[in-house]
């Protein structure tokens, strides 16, 4: 089922490390007027960057926020799909849209929520929505989040999803240059969200083609290797195969990850500007208290109970 861990011995989606890194790097792109708040809470934004992935297994309506199967709509998908949610629902119906993913519309919705949080100077809400928004933007930059063949299951390339977004960053992201410069204002967040999806989808051909070509040059016992992960012997793509594929992609993973850092920072900044540039010094002293900690603990407990169908002791 889409949304399950397709990787061979990897973390889920982009890898937890990449999601955290993207949010963290985006924080440094903000102007001083925002950094007075965001840098103080950089650990929250970093550590909570993976929350949407945890929710996707347990919260109804979460899974579809991470992808969109453009190929379901045909070759003219980017032309026929309405850019705004109400028009899309009117044309295709909400159930159909959610079945095939809604990430470009979710980015718009989360941006609206963040703007409203800035307007009301709600620090807890600003942090939560910022962390989630960073996750959705990053997911939209992954080519395999834009196709129904998301894990190569339709082309005999099972495992390619985790290979691209987890194994390659795991091995090579230490050398990626993710600095872009100061955040820039987005004139139209909806248009930018769809540009992200378009660029990701255009990269799908090379993602599949290069892996298939390379597989023909490797014996099966050379393509995969076994590594200890958390004291468990796990099959992964071999370093040699990974290096060759990474070279064939010509920094594609780095470019998409760098573009994620740029867009996350840009959208955070744009939401703040659209809210009237509120003075965040007034809420810079915010610290998640017992109430917030309890709410987060209960939310995580709920995720785990639904994921593993755990009964409480009272049951």
Write down the pLDDT at residue 296: 61
Query: Burial, 130: exposed, middle or buried (Cβ in 10 Å; 0-12, 13-18, 19+)?
Result: buried
76-116 pLDDT per residue, tens:
999 999 999 999 999 999 999 999 999 999 999 999 999 99
Res 233: pLDDT: 87
pLDDT digits (tens, 9 = 90+) for 7-64: 333 344 466 889 999 999 999 999 999 999 999 999 999 999 999 999 988 899 999 9
DSSP-assigned letter for residue 204: H
pLDDT confidence of residue 299: 58
3-12, 221-230, 244-253: the lowest-pLDDT one? 3-12
8 or 212, which is more confident? 212
Q: What is the pLDDT of residue 294?
A: 56
Q: What is the pLDDT of residue 133?
A: 98
Q: What is the DSSP string of 110-144?
A: HHHHHHHHHHTT-HHHHHHHHHHHHHHHHHHT-GG
- Tens digits of per-residue pLDDT, 120-140? 999 999 999 999 999 999 999
pLDDT at 57: 81
Q: What is the pLDDT of residue 9?
A: 34
> What is the mean pLDDT of the segment spanning 224-247?
92
| pLDDT of the residue at 6 | 35
| Residue whose pair of structure tokens reads 């040059």 in the numeric block | 217
pLDDT digits 0-9 by tens, 291-301:
655 556 555 55
- State mean pLDDT over 185-193: 98
Instruction: Return mean pLDDT, the chain.
Output: 89
What lies within 8 Å, CB to CB, of 202 at 6+ separation is: none
Q: Cα 117 from chain centroid?
A: 21
pLDDT above 90: residue 263: yes
Task: Give the tokens for residue 62.
Answer: 């979460």
Q: State the pLDDT at residue 11.
A: 40
- H/E stretch holding 227 reads strand 224-229
CA-closest candidate to residue 61, choices 90, 101, 19, 88: 101
- In this predicted structure, what is the pLDDT of residue 311? 34
């Amino acid at each position: 089922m889409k949304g399950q861990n397709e990787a061979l011995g990897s973390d889920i989606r982009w890898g937890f490390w990449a999601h955290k890194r993207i949010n963290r790097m985006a924080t440094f792109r903000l102007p001083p007027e925002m950094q007075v708040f965001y840098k103080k809470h950089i650990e929250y934004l970093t550590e909570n960057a993976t929350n949407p992935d945890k929710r996707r297994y347990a919260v109804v309506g979460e899974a579809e926020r991470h992808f969109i199967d453009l190929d379901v709509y045909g070759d003219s998908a980017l032309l026929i799909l309405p850019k705004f949610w109400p028009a899309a629902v009117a044309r295709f119906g909400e159930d159909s849209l959610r079945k095939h993913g809604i990430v470009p519309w979710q980015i718009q919705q989360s941006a609206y929520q963040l703007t409203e949080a800035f307007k009301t100077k709600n620090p807890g809400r600003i942090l939560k929505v910022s962390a989630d928004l960073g996750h959705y933007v990053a997911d939209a930059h992954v080519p395999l989040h834009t196709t129904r063949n998301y894990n190569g299951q339709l082309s005999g390339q099972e495992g390619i999803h985790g290979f691209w977004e987890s194994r390659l960053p795991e091995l090579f992201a230490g050398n990626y240059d993710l600095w872009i410069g100061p955040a820039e204002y987005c004139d139209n967040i909806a248009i930018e969200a769809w540009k992200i999806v378009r660029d990701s989808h255009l990269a799908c051909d090379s993602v599949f083609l290069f892996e298939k070509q390379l597989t023909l040059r490797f014996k099966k016992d050379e393509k995969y290797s076994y590594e200890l992960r958390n004291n468990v012997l796990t099959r992964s793509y071999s370093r040699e195969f990974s290096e060759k594929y990474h070279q064939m992609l010509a920094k594609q993973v780095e470019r998409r990850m760098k573009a994620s850092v740029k867009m996350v920072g840009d959208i955070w900044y744009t939401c703040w500007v659209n809210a009237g540039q509120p003075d965040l010094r007034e809420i810079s002293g915010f610290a998640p208290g017992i109430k917030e900690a309890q709410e987060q603990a209960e939310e995580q407990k709920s995720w785990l109970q639904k994921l593993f169908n755990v009964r409480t002791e009272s049951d």
